[in-house]
Amino acid sequence: MTELAPPLLEVHDLLVEMAGRVLLHDVSLSLHAGELVGVIGPNGAGKTTLMRAITGRVTHSGTISLDGAPLEAMRGRERARSIAVVEQLPEAPPTMHVSELAMLGRFPHLGLLGRETSRDVAITRDAMTRAGCLDLAERLIGTLSGGERRRAFIARALAQEPRLLLLDEPTAALDASAQGEVFEVIRTLADDGAGVLVVVHDLSLAAAWCDRLLLLHEGGVVASGAPREVITAEHLALVYGPFVSLLSHPDTGKPLVVPSGLDARVRVDAHP
């Protein structure tokens, strides 16, 4: 990644209004190929709305461009060849095989009546390998654990061969080990050259894995930059209130955000 290369994704002065309410305002963001950027913020901050704006699912003003070309000009299948999305809780029939799900990612690359070629099969297998679910190929979706399920949907997204991958809370409702496995997959994708934008609820997880973070609050950007610049005591107090404390990881030095309970507030009040 060189600073001179134009950003893969560039969002400028994004404004999203729905039913008279401002959901996002003055949001700007740039993301280069090879970068893993986390979008953080409390519930209702506009994280998912930002994702939906980038994928063209909500109307907005301001510009969103991919490799310098405005995204508005791209229609369905063309967009799907460049941008892949893994939603928060994607659905698939429980009787579908993982390999079938992954193969659906080839849809935007095939004609209406097109048949999958051996090249499509190879790309799908590669996607499943990279998502760490090739060994699950013959399993049914309904039999997967939460983490396996998430990786199956990531494989579907990778089969689209996207330049930009958007993930909305890929680790929600997963245990700690599955969270780590999913983020390892995502990190490797970015290291291999994809641009990845991921909505993360868990601040420590975001700080541990992302190159940069974007902190949203009430539809606006509070801070953006390296995890240590974004996750600061002031920002946390402003956005998350008094019940969280900021620590530093003893090994990596990255920010750790932990619940603090009432004691912390008493301490803060006593020593302003």
Partner 1 sequence: MLRTSTRAEVAAVSTPRTPWLVRVRHVSPFVLATAALVAAVLIGVTQGTTAIPLWTTVAMLLDRLPFVALPVDAPESWSRILFDVRLPRVAAAGLVGAALSYSGTAYQGVFRNPLADPFLLGVASGAGLGASIAIVSPLPIDSYGFAWVPLFAFGGACLAVTLVYALSRTGNLADNATLLLAGIALSAVASAITSFLLLTGGPNTYPIFSFLFGGFNTASWPRLLVALPYIAAGAVAVLVQARALNVLQLDEEQAAHLGVDVRRTRLLVLAGASVIAAAAVAVAGIIGFVGLIVPHAVRMLVGNDYRRLLPLTAILGATFVILVDLAARRVLAPQEVPVGIVTQILGAPFFLYLLRRGRSAGSL
Contact residues toward partner 1 (CB under 8 A) are 55, 57, 76-81, 83-85, 87, 90-97, 99-101, 103-105, 107-108, 110, 112-116, 121, 124-125, 137-138, 160
192: tokens are: 């291999």
Judged by beta carbon, residue 165 or residue 215, the one nearer partner 1 is 165
DSSP string, 204-269: HHHHHH-SEEEEEETTEEEEEESHHHHS-HHHHHHHH-TTEEEEE-TTT--EEEEE-HHHHHHHHH
Residue written as token pair 């980038």: 54
Q: In the bound complex, what is the minimum distance in angstroms from residue 170's beta carbon to partner 1?
A: 14
Instruction: Select from 186, 115, 129, 196 the least CA-distant residue to 159.
Output: 129
DSSP element (H, E) containing 191: helix 176-191
Judged by beta carbon, residue 115 or residue 271, the one nearer partner 1 is 115
| 243, 260 Cβ separation under 8 angstroms | yes
Judged by beta carbon, residue 74 or residue 244, the one nearer partner 1 is 74
Judged by beta carbon, residue 104 or residue 244, the one nearer partner 1 is 104
Q: In the bound complex, what is the minimum distance in angstroms from residue 11's beta carbon to partner 1?
A: 18
Judged by beta carbon, residue 164 or residue 236, the one nearer partner 1 is 164
Judged by beta carbon, residue 80 or residue 197, the one nearer partner 1 is 80
Find the angle CA(150)-CA(151)-CA(153) to the nearest 5 degrees. 70
Distance of CA 230 to the CA centre of its chain: 17
CA torsion 215→223→32→148, rounded to 10°? -20
User: 179: number of CA atoms within 13 Å, CB side?
Assistant: 16
Q: In the bound complex, what is the minimum distance in angstroms from residue 123's beta carbon to partner 1?
A: 11
Identity of the amino acid at 233: A
Q: Alpha-carbon distance 39 to 28, whole Å? A: 12
Q: Alpha-carbon distance 258 to 239, whole Å? A: 14
Q: In the bound complex, what is the minimum distance in angstroms from residue 129's beta carbon to partner 1?
A: 13
Judged by beta carbon, residue 21 or residue 115, the one nearer partner 1 is 115
Instruction: Select from 266, 157, 250, 272 the least CA-distant residue to 204.
Output: 250
Q: In the bound complex, what is the minimum distance in angstroms from residue 30's beta carbon to partner 1?
A: 22
